[in-house]
Chain A
C-alpha cells in the first residue's frame, strides 16, 4: 500500500509515501512478533524548526547565543528533556515552565484516551447495551479524572490546535510546530476547530513504554509491510500480488468471494476489504446491491486529500543559515513551521483550491539513521508537504499541469532557510494527491482513507450505524483506515476487525 520502499533513482531507495512509523500499536507488534520478522525501528531525535532572518526570541526569555549571527533563529526540541527546557527558556521562561506541566497533562490525557483505539464503536441508536460497556468503563474513568483534566480532554476533542496551545504558550514557532501535528493529512488549518485532538498522538508513543513508537523502519517503511507479510506467511497466509480484485461476488445477500480482473474467482467465508469505504462499496460491489440510502451515506464520506510528498536525492546535507553545518539537528524531523500565521496562510491557499505557496514541510533525512538507503556520502530526503488540495481551482487545470510548480514551491520554501539547497538536488520525485490516488488507490489521495474530521470519527466512521467493521452485506467486512480509529501506520483497525470477524465466527479470540 502506502508503506513501500522503492528505488526511484539508481542507488537511492525512498519511502515513497508514508515515511515514519508513528502509532504502530504495541499489541500488534507483540502479537505478530514483528521484530522477529525483521521490523527494526530507528529512532528520530527531536524536531528542528528553522526560522527566517531577523527572527528571535520574543516573550520574556533572555536572548540566547547559538543561532548564527544574522542567520535568523531556530527552535530545537530534542528527546533530552533538560536540553529542550533550556532551549525553550531562551525563548520564554513561562513557556519553558508551561512545557513541563503541559507534557505531563498530555501524557495523562493520552493514557486516558488510549483504550479508545482498541474499542469497536457502538451504534448509538442501538438498544443493545453490550457494545456500550467499553464506553461505560471509559465514562467511569472520566468521572474519576480531576475536573481540570476532564475539561482539557473536552477541549482536545473540540478545539483548534492553535487556540488549545494558546492556553499554555506564547512562543509562536513553538505553537506553530506543535500545532502542525494537528493538521497532518487533514483539509483543516491550525485554527480550525477539531484539530487539537491529534496533538495527543505525539504523546501516545511515550506511554507505549520501552518500544520506540516514533521512528523510521530500517530499509524504509516497506520494512514494516515486509515484516507483517513475513509474519502472515509464517502463519500460513497466502499473499498474492498482481491480483487486482474486480468485484465482490454476492449471492443471496451474502458476500461469498471475489472475482479478479483476470476473471479468476476466489470464494471465502469472510471477505475483508482494506480499501477505503468508497472504493469498497461503490467500486467493488455491484450497483443496486446496497440500499440507495446507504450508498448516499458512502458518497457523503469526505476524503479531500490535502497532502503531497516530495522525495529528493541530494549529494550533500542541507545547510541552514540559522545553524550551519551538518549537525545533530538534521537527525530528527525538520519542521518548516515558523509561525501560526504561516501555517494558517498555507491553509488559506488550499481552501480556495491552490497548493500552499509557502507550504508547511515536515522533512526527514532517513540516510542519517539508515545509511543503507543511499550511496556513501549521498542522502535521500523525504518531504511531507501540506497543503496540496486534491481539487484544484478551475483556473489551475489538473495536478498534471501543476506537479512541477508544486515541487518548485517546496524546494523554494526550503531554500529560504537553506540557500544553497537547490544545487544539491540530484533527483526530485513529486507525489501530488492525484499521483497518490493513482498509485496507491487512496481515494482523492487522502492518506487516512477519509478525513479525520470530527463528524467522521468513532461511531460515524465511515458511515453512522456501520462503524463496527461489519457492512450491510453479510460476510463483507472493512478493515482499512476508513474504519475506527482512522489512519496512520497503526495496525489497530486491522486488529479490531480481525477480532470482530473471529468473534462472529465463534472462534476463540486471541
Chain B
C-alpha cells in the first residue's frame, strides 16, 4: 500500500537498515516520542542476527551464533525480556581440542579453568586466575569507554571537557599498574600478550582466538590484543569470553526488538531498499527508495556500514572529494565465512572424554598460535587456508527448541570460519563454495571422527554472500576492520566518531561506529542518545 501525502512521509528519524543496532536506535528514539521508521531492504529484519530453518524443523543461527555481549542496559531499557528475549548460558565457555587429542577447556569460573589446566602446566594453572583478573580489569575499562561517545577534539566545549575528565577518571580507576599495562598491551600482538603469561601453546591459542576472530589479522599482528580485550568488554567472560545463546537463536532476539519497536510506535518497513540519501545545503533531508518513493526526516540514521552510506547512498558533491577519498579507504577486508550443518546425531569429540557439557559452549578449532598465523598467511595471499581455524557451536544442545520439529536426535551446528578472504586471487567463491564446505566438514571430522557422516544438510555462506545478501561491504561482518587505525576516536573516521556522519542530520548507528561490531546494541544505544539530544535541541 502506497502512503501518500507529504505529512505521512515525514519523520523525525529514518533508520536505514533493520540490523540489531538500527532497531535498538529506533526503539530508543520511539520511546523518546520521536516519529521513527526503520527501512530494511530484505524481507526479514535482523541483518547478521538471524535464525533460519535450513531443514524441516531444524533452525540454525544464520550468521552470528551467540549474543553474550549484549549490553544489560539495552536489555533493561528496551524491556527485551518482557518482549520474549530469553538467554541460555552454558557453564563451559570454550572447548578447544588440540592436535594431540587433549583439550583446553575454558569455564565461566576461572578457578575451575585453572584446575583443568594443571595437568597441562602447573605454571599456567597458577597464573590463570591473575590473568583473568587483569583481563577483567582492562576489559572493564574498555567497557566503560564503549558506553561513552568519543570526545570532540576539533573544538572541545564544556561538555567535552567534562567528558574528557570522565575519560581520565575512568582511566585512573584502573589504578597505576593496570593503567600502565593497558597503554602497553592495547597495540600489542595478542600472541605476545598471552606468551607473557602462559607456556602452553594450546591455551595461548584458545585465548588468542578472540583477538583475531572477524579480522584479517593473525595472532602476530599488532593490535590484536585490543580486539581480544574489546571482545571481553561488556561480557562477563573475562579470559574465557562469553558464550550465551538467545533461546530460539539470534532471530528470537530480533523478534523481541521488533516487539519493543512496535510498542514504542516505531514504523517498520521491510523490502524497502534505500537507493540514496537526499541532502540540501550540506544537510541530510531524507531518503529515496528503489521505487522512487521519497521519505523526509530531521534525522537520517545509517544502520548500514559507513563506507556504503558515504560512497553509495550519499551525494558525492555534498560529501566532498576529501572525505569521499577517506570513506573509500575505510578498510573492510572480509575474511569470514559461515557453514551451517544439520546433524543426524551429536558428534563425538574424543578430546571431550565423554563429558557432554563440553560441547555446549564454543568449540574452537585453533590448535596453536602458529597454526592460526599460517591460516592467516593463506588469506593474506587471497586463498582460503587448507587448515582453516574456526569457532563452532551446537546451539541445539543448550536450546532443544531449535530442533523441536526435526527427527529425534537431530542437532544443528553453526561454524564461523576464519581465513576465508572475500577477494580470491584465483577463481570465484561460486566455484569455491562447495569445496570449501567439504574442507570445513573434513577439518571438523578430524577432531570428531564420524561427524562427516552425520551431516544431512549443509549451508555455506561465503564472504561474497555476506556482501551481496547482507550488504556488508567487502563481506566484513564488523562493518570495518577492528584495527588500531579504525578505533575509538577514529572509528569509522577521525572527526566522525561521535555518531554524526559527514552531513548535518546524518548519523551512524551500526557496527562501523565506536565501539565496533558484535551483538552489543551499544552502538545503537550511544547513537540514539546523541540523535535524541540533537533533535531535542532543534525541537520547535
Given A194-B223, A348-B377, check contact A147 B180 (CB 8 Å). no
Q: Is there a chain A Cβ closer than 8 Å to B11's Cβ?
A: no
Once the chains are docked, how many angstroms separate the CA of A220 from the CA of B489? 46
Within 8 A of A (CB), among B218-243: 220-223
Contact yes or no, A125 B176, CB < 8 A: yes
Residue of B nearest to A156 (CB): B485
Q: Is there a chain B Cβ closer than 8 Å to A94's Cβ?
A: no
Interface string of B111-154 (1 = CB under 8 A from A): 00000000000000000000000000000000000000000011
Q: Is there a chain B Cβ closer than 8 Å to A356's Cβ?
A: no
Within 8 A of A (CB), among B165-210: 172, 176, 179-181, 183-188, 192, 196
Contact yes or no, A158 B484, CB < 8 A: yes
Q: Is there a chain A Cβ closer than 8 Å to B40's Cβ?
A: no
How many residues of B are in contact with the other chain, CB < 8 A?
A: 40
Q: Within the complex, which residue of B373, B484, B489 is in contact with A351, where a contact is CB–CB below 8 Å?
A: B373
Once the chains are docked, how many angstroms separate the CA of A441 from the CA of B329? 43
Contact yes or no, A453 B222, CB < 8 A: yes
Interface residues on A, range: 20 to 34
Q: Is there a chain B Cβ closer than 8 Å to A234's Cβ?
A: no
Contact yes or no, A124 B483, CB < 8 A: no
Query: Chain B residues with Cβ under 8 A from A167's Cβ?
Result: 325, 329
Q: Within the complex, which residue of A155, A157, A194, A455 is in contact with B184, where a contact is CB–CB below 8 Å?
A: A455
Within 8 A of A (CB), among B457-489: 483-485, 487, 489
Q: Is there a chain A Cβ closer than 8 Å to B280's Cβ?
A: no
Q: Is there a chain A Cβ closer than 8 Å to B82's Cβ?
A: no
Number of A-B contacts (CB under 8 A): 90
For the complex formed, measure the closest distance between the CB of A157 and the CB atoms of chain B, giving whole angstroms. 8
Once the chains are docked, how many angstroms separate the CA of A352 from the CA of B374? 9
Q: Within the complex, which residue of B172, B179, B484 is in contact with A194, where a contact is CB–CB below 8 Å?
A: B484
The winner among B217, B377, B485 for most chain A CB atoms within 10 A is B485
Interface string of A193-215 (1 = CB under 8 A from B): 11000000000000000000000
Query: Chain A residues with Cβ under 8 A from B222's Cβ?
Result: 188, 192-194, 453-455
For the complex formed, measure the closest distance between the CB of A292 and the CB atoms of chain B, giving whole angstroms. 13
Interface string of B62-101 (1 = CB under 8 A from A): 0000000000000000000000000000000000000000
Q: Within the complex, which residue of B331, B373, B490 is in contact with A163, where a contact is CB–CB below 8 Å?
A: B331
Q: Is there a chain A Cβ closer than 8 Å to B322's Cβ?
A: yes
Contact yes or no, A124 B179, CB < 8 A: yes
Query: Chain B residues with Cβ under 8 A from A302's Cβ?
Result: 192
Q: Is there a chain B Cβ closer than 8 Å to A148's Cβ?
A: yes
Q: Is there a chain A Cβ closer than 8 Å to B102's Cβ?
A: no
Given A344-B380, A351-B373, A455-B188, check contact A147 B494 (CB 8 Å). yes
Q: Is the interface of A mostly helix, strand, loop or mixed?
A: helix
Q: Within the complex, which residue of B153, B331, B484, B494 is in contact with A454, where a contact is CB–CB below 8 Å?
A: B484
Once the chains are docked, how many angstroms separate the CA of A125 from the CA of B181? 11
Query: Chain B residues with Cβ under 8 A from A125's Cβ?
Result: 172, 176, 179-180
Query: Chain A residues with Cβ under 8 A from B196's Cβ?
Result: 300
Q: Is there a chain B Cβ closer than 8 Å to A104's Cβ?
A: no
Contact yes or no, B483 A464, CB < 8 A: no
Contact yes or no, B326 A194, CB < 8 A: no
For the complex formed, measure the closest distance between the CB of B312 and the CB atoms of chain A, giving whole angstroms. 19
Q: Is there a chain B Cβ closer than 8 Å to A151's Cβ?
A: yes
Contact yes or no, A155 B373, CB < 8 A: no
For the complex formed, measure the closest distance between the CB of B190 and the CB atoms of chain A, giving whole angstroms. 12
Q: Is there a chain A Cβ closer than 8 Å to B495's Cβ?
A: yes
Q: Is there a chain A Cβ closer than 8 Å to B493's Cβ?
A: yes
Query: Chain A residues with Cβ under 8 A from B445's Cβ?
Result: none
Within 8 A of A (CB), among B483-510: 483-485, 487, 489-490, 493-495
Contact yes or no, B495 A455, CB < 8 A: no
Residue of B nearest to A154 (CB): B490
For the complex formed, measure the closest distance between the CB of B129 and the CB atoms of chain A, giving whole angstroms. 18
Query: Chain A residues with Cβ under 8 A from B217's Cβ?
Result: 193
Once the chains are docked, how many angstroms separate the CA of A215 from the CA of B389? 47
Q: Is there a chain A Cβ closer than 8 Å to B370's Cβ?
A: yes
Contact yes or no, A193 B185, CB < 8 A: no
Given A151-B494, A158-B487, check contact A464 B183 (CB 8 Å). yes
Residue of A nearest to B179 (CB): A125
Contact yes or no, A148 B326, CB < 8 A: yes
For the complex formed, measure the closest distance between the CB of B529 and the CB atoms of chain A, giving whole angstroms. 24
Contact yes or no, B223 A158, CB < 8 A: yes
Residue of A nearest to B178 (CB): A125
Once the chains are docked, how many angstroms separate the CA of A455 from the CA of B184? 5
Contact yes or no, A455 B494, CB < 8 A: no
Query: Chain B residues with Cβ under 8 A from A439's Cβ?
Result: none
Interface string of A452-476 (1 = CB under 8 A from B): 0111000110001100000000000
Q: Is there a chain B Cβ closer than 8 Å to A262's Cβ?
A: no
Q: Is there a chain B Cβ closer than 8 Å to A216's Cβ?
A: no
Query: Chain A residues with Cβ under 8 A from B325's Cβ?
Result: 167
Contact yes or no, A151 B184, CB < 8 A: no
Query: Chain B residues with Cβ under 8 A from A143's Cβ?
Result: 153-155
Contact yes or no, B223 A460, CB < 8 A: no
Q: Is there a chain B Cβ closer than 8 Å to A159's Cβ?
A: yes
In the complex, besides A159-B485, A194-B484, 13 extra interface pairs with C-beta distance below 8 angstroms are: A143-B155, A150-B494, A154-B490, A158-B483, A167-B325, A188-B222, A193-B217, A344-B380, A352-B370, A455-B187, A464-B181, A464-B183, A465-B180
Which A residues contact B (CB, under 8 angstroms)?
124-125, 142-143, 147-148, 150-151, 154-155, 157-159, 163, 167, 188, 191-194, 300, 302, 341, 344, 348, 351-352, 453-455, 459-460, 464-465
24 contacts between A and B (CB under 8 A): A124-B180, A125-B180, A148-B322, A148-B326, A150-B494, A151-B326, A158-B223, A191-B380, A192-B220, A192-B222, A193-B221, A193-B222, A193-B223, A193-B483, A302-B192, A351-B220, A454-B223, A454-B484, A455-B222, A460-B183, A460-B184, A464-B181, A465-B176, A465-B180
A-B pairs with lowest CB-CB distance, top 7: A454-B187, A464-B180, A158-B484, A158-B485, A194-B222, A193-B222, A151-B494
